[in-house]
């Protein structure tokens, strides 16, 4: 079963060809990072134009690199939710057109579920139920995962996503966009105990997240309590920047790890799965590995290329929906 996957939910235009949910023949990712970096975040209009410009080339490349013909495809899959509405629509329209022209089934998948599935591409031995933490630029969610295609949302951020907090704190510290990877690297040179930033756990037992407070705490730490008097960013030494980065990162990761472990225990899960762009973070990987090990729960996370937005995870998950004949018709909509 050879499936084409399409992913355009945010600022990466991606297409992939995957066999039987596992074997990646191609996984082309055209990143728009350079276009958005000078604005310090994703500009939806620019993202849509870039998707429109590149989607056909990216699909052609994925099929060519897989060394197959379009007619060899058994199905067309696409992430139709959640994401930027205009960006999702471009991928969905491409997928619908191909499905109609090639007379192949259309399979729509949830982008966050695909981030969870990414681990399954690289590991065979994931036991369910699993608790899955998806941490990306736009989302921070916990899913009780019953199978490859059965997900129950049990926790979500009530404000900013974890990746968004990394990117916004990076902006305060004068780093580039996206700032997550740079904060990760800088933190290794800093002292994570230098500053006690707040850890927001919300009410007792809550599996929801909140990261807007810590972003403001970093801002006050850098600019002083009275922002109206602060005309410009005070000059920070490299060591001060590294200490702030490390202390911020530690606070975010403590909450992510604690809530994930709490959820794994609460639902007696057999595995923990980590996915999304922030799953590239070395400190998060290390601390979650240590905590999961202490409790004897196996932890799975994919290699970095499959953590970031990519279409292989979409085509992989779609295989399991194909097996269930869970197809979409051409009226299916994009849902932001
Ligand atoms: O999943 P993703 O590629 O796109 C979305 O669906 O949002 O995630 C992108 C996010 C960005 O916020 C970026 O700063 C963050 O992932 N990120 C990281 C690291 N690598 C990427 N955050 C922390 N540490 C990293 N090493
Ligand atoms: Zn994502």
Residue 312 and residue 293 in one domain? no
184 belongs to an annotated ligand binding site: yes
Residue 172 covered by a domain: yes
| Order of all β-strands in the sheet with 23-31 | 23-31, 12-19, 2-7, 75-81, 106-110
Residue 233 and residue 270 in one domain? yes
pLDDT in tens, 13-51: 999 999 999 999 999 999 998 898 888 888 999 999 999
In whole numbers, what is the pLDDT of the chain averaged over residues?
A: 96
Helix or strand holding residue 13 (H, E): strand 12-19
Residue 22 and residue 156 in one domain? no
Pairing of strands 271-275, 299-300: parallel
Residue 81 and residue 19 in one domain? yes
Residue 72 and residue 208 in one domain? no
Residue 15 covered by a domain: yes
Residue 21 and residue 149 in one domain? no
Per-residue buried b or exposed e for 40-61, using 16+ beta carbons within 10 Å of the residue's own CB: bebbeeebbebbbebbeebbee
298 token code pair = 């196996």
pLDDT in tens, 290-309: 999 999 999 999 999 999 99
> Token pair 């995957």 is at which residue?
18
Q: What is the mean pLDDT of residues 191-202?
A: 97
To test ligand 1's pocket by mutation, which of 173, 251, 277, 308 has the most ligand atoms within 8 angstroms of CB? 277
Q: What is the pLDDT of residue 225?
A: 75
pLDDT in tens, 128-157: 999 999 999 999 999 999 999 999 999 999
CB of 276 within 6 A of ligand 1: the answer is yes
CATH code for the domain of 221: 3.30.420.40
CA atoms of 233 and 236, how far apart (whole Å): 8
Residue 274 and residue 315 in one domain? no
Under 8 Å between Cβ of 259 and 209: yes
Residue 121 covered by a domain: no
Count of domains forming the chain: 2
Residue 56 and residue 79 in one domain? yes
Please give the residue range of the domain that contains residue 8: 2-115+307-323
Residue 77 and residue 221 in one domain? no
CA atoms of 81 and 85, how far apart (whole Å): 8
């Amino acid at each position: 079963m050879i499936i084409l996957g399409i992913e355009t939910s945010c600022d990466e235009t991606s297409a992939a060809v995957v066999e039987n949910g596992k074997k990646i023949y191609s996984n082309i990712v055209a990143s728009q990072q350079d276009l958005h970096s000078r604005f310090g975040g994703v500009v939806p209009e620019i993202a849509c134009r870039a998707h429109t410009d590149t989607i056909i080339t990216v699909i052609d490349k994925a099929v060519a690199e897989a060394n197959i013909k379009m007619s060899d495809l058994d199905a067309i899959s696409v992430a139709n939710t959640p994401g930027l509405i205009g960006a999702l629509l471009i991928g969905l329209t491409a997928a619908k057109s191909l499905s109609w022209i090639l007379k192949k089934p259309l399979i729509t998948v949830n982008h966050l579920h695909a981030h969870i599935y990414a681990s399954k591409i690289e590991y065979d031995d994931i036991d369910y139920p699993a608790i899955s933490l998806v941490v990306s630029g736009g989302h921070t969610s916990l899913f009780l995962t019953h199978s490859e295609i059965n997900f129950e949302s049990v926790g979500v951020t009530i404000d900013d996503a974890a990746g968004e907090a990394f990117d916004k704190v990076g902006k305060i510290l004068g780093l580039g966009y996206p700032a997550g990877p740079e904060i990760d690297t800088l933190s290794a040179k800093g002292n994570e105990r230098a500053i006690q930033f707040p850890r927001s756990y919300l009410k007792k037992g809550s599996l929801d997240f909140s990261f807007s407070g810590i972003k403001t705490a970093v801002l006050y730490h850098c600019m002083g309590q009275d922002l109206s008097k602060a005309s410009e960013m005070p000059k920070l030494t490299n060591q001060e920047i590294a200490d702030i980065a490390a202390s911020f990162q530690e606070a975010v990761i403590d909450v992510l790890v604690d809530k994930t472990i709490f959820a794994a225990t609460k639902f007696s899960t057999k595995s923990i799965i980590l996915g999304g762009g922030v799953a590239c973070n070395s400190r998060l990987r290390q601390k979650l590995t240590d905590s999961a090990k202490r409790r004897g729960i196996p932890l799975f996370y994919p290699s970095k290329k499959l953590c970031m937005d990519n279409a292989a995870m979409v085509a992989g998950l779609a295989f399991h929906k194909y097996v269930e004949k869970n197809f979409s018709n051409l009226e299916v909509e994009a849902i932001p």
